[in-house]
Amino acid sequence: MLRGTPTRVENIGKLIMKKLIILAMLLMVGTVSLYPVQADYPEFTELVKKASPAVVNIRTTRSASKRFEGLDEQKVPEMFRRFVREMPDRQKPGPSAGSGFIIESNGYILTNNHVVDGAEEIIVALSDRREREAVIVGQDALSDLAVLKIEGENLPTLDMGSSDNLEAGQWVVAIGSPFGFEHSVTAGIVSATGRSLPENNGNYVPFIQTDVAINPGNSGGPLLDLNGKVVGINSQILTRSGGYMGLSFAIPIDVAMEVAEQLKEQGMVSRGWLGVLIQRVDRDLAESFGLDRPAGALVTQVFDDSPAEAGGLREGDIILSFNGKMIDLSSDLPHLVGRARVEAVATLEIMRGGKRQKVEVTIGKLDIEKIGPQGSDPALAANGNRIGIDIVDLEEVDKRRLEVNKGVLISQVYSGPAREAGVQRGDVLTDIDGEAIDSAEQLERLVAALPGGISVHIRVVRNKRPQYLALKVPVM
């Protein structure tokens, strides 16, 4: 063998090395394809530059509460009079701040009602440091919205987007004045849509939930999508500390602009009214009504002379859709009805007696009244039955006092199906399994005839408020 000539072993080694290199390169390519390079975060700079000029800071002045209003100094013991005289001026106004944004170039501004409610003076600070005094065009407490007007022409405005197409996971940006720090920018994602909150306006606003950092002073400011269009108005936070804790809520812009237009035109808002009380449908109620899953809004009461009564809705109906929009949660229904135009005809799909059907209802106008239910003091009776309750017939005077026109009074609840279903002493049982109850004797007969091991729905009136419960019938 000549010197310098590769041996067979060396050739094999080089071949193996080439294959290993190729294999490594293939593995690297495979790794890249399996784990793509993470995309960059959105760039907010241009969006903020374009949107910020239309965002305003709102300062309001309110009179401080008068803790000692009407106090006669002469009636105060001498040793305490010095403290009364040295108290700070009780008339001194207290300032507060919020945000808003210009929706029309001639000076119309949209903000939260709670930012300006009760204000004696409203000052709007523009992005160029000019200040204008604002007047309130209209306010709506149920949606927590207000429209203001300042003097001006050719003012910068924001473009309106659509909140109806907003989805969880989308990026959103907030601009506002948290704690007075004007034009602060925060960003996050949409956590959920269609949220109802346990507030006075919770049933009429399907809130957008985000994780955008919102603090006092952000209220009324815009929530923007990545195109710089307004999709919501930052309104509330859920907190135990008074500051941001990851749960922020915005009013959908589609709802807000409907309210704003009415406020501009007539200074008030007209909302649709159906005239029913409803409750959520849980798994047991869904089974008892013949639904394959919990859905819809269960009608517990139809008000007299209401659109629902005129349209043929009944207690025990489950409303599954409103004008083609599915009612997944019972809280979805007030959102849709409230946005419906007064005197418009709405088509409702309902479940009645285990069958689906459609009814048409002419929407009425909501008259905001709050009637607080009053308690009752029922008399006791002893008349046990299969489901573990004692009942007594109602006299006409009892029906008038309890504001019912049928049913029997539950005077005692024992361990058993009724207690497990949530029945309480003092409830009036008006229906069982779709049958109206007029007497204790009738209820006993119906209960005795029920097959064991099934779920049936019962309607009870508690503190003058009706509701449905799912009751498991015991096996005899």
Q: What is the pLDDT of residues 379-390, one digit of tens each?
A: 222 334 778 888
Query: Which residues in 196-306 belong to E strands, given as ranges?
Result: 207-210, 222-224, 230-237, 248-252, 272-273, 276-280, 297-302
How many residues comprise the chain?
A: 476
Residue 335 is a catalytic residue: no
Closest among 462, 463, 468, 464 to 431, alpha carbons compared: 468
Q: Which of 219-223, 359-363, 369-373, 405-409 has the lowest mean pLDDT?
A: 369-373
Q: What is the pLDDT of residues 11-45, one digit of tens each?
A: 666 666 766 677 666 555 554 444 454 556 788 99
Q: Which of 9-18, 160-169, 333-342 has the lowest mean pLDDT?
A: 9-18
**Catalytic, out of 99, 219, 235, 411:** 219
Query: Which residues in 211-287 belong to E strands, given as ranges?
Result: 222-224, 230-237, 248-252, 272-273, 276-280
Q: What is the pLDDT of residue 288?
A: 86
Contact 99, 183 (CB under 8 A): no
pLDDT over 90 (residue 151): yes
Tell me what percent of the residues of the chain surpass a pLDDT of 70: 78
Residue 144 is a catalytic residue: yes
What is the pLDDT confidence band of residue 476, given thresholds at 50, 70 and 90? low
**Catalytic, out of 99, 114, 335, 431:** 114
- What does the mean pLDDT of the chain come to? 82
Residue 162 is a catalytic residue: no
DSSP tally for the chain: helices H, then strands E: 11, 27
Mean predicted confidence (pLDDT) in 261-267: 91
**Catalytic, out of 140, 144, 332, 431:** 144
CA 224 to chain centre: 20
Q: What is the pLDDT of residue 74?
A: 53
pLDDT over 70 (residue 95): no
Torsion sign across C-alpha atoms 212, 218, 220, 221: negative
| Tally of CB atoms within 10 A around 445 | 10
Q: What is the pLDDT of residue 90?
A: 45
